[in-house]
Amino acid sequence: MSGQNVGYIRVSTVDQTSERQLYGISLDTIFEDKISGSTTDRPGLNQLLSHVRSGDVVHVHDISRLARNTGHLLELVERLLGSGVAITFHKEQLTFSADKANPINQLMLTMLGAIYQFERSLILERQREGIALAKMRGVYKGRKRSIDTHQVKVLRESGMSYRKIAQELSISLSSVQRALKV
């Protein structure tokens, strides 16, 4: 019996769409994350790693969807191969399986992983530079506050406990405590 074709899809934010990834590929199961690739603890990826068995093939749109760090990428690929699971990166047209070692593919994986990691570093550097310039011009205000500190203080003054305030506003207890310190 041959294994399953399992898809892994990742987008960085909830607003992004994953429709283009693995479009038209016949898959038995799909695992998806809407979280940064720099995060190694991803629910969908963790579920995929628990789900796959020897003989399965994991399909990923491109290398950067699986990992943004070369070390993590190589670790994930080795883990899958060690379990007898093959992995295919469709955009790069690279396939890895435990029974077919291919030094050229391994080199390409390492090089492309490093390029994606470098690209991400450049994006973050440009973002930091842009924010610094915006701050110098006085146009960068930072992230909007997500908690109305005035509302927290009013609820506390009315005698409501910290825990009740957190529950009422759907925020954490530590957020209530921080808002009351301001």
Q: How far apart (Å, rounded) are the C-alpha atoms in residues 85 and 29?
A: 14
DSSP per position, 98-145: TTB--HHHHHHHHHHHHHHHHHHHHHHHHHHHHHHHHHHHT----SPP
Nearest-angstrom CA–CA distance, 39 and 120: 13
**Catalytic-residue membership of 146:** no
Token pair recorded at residue 55: 């003989």
Measure CA 53 to chain center: 23
Active-site pick, 12, 18, 83, 97: 12
Catalytic residues: 12
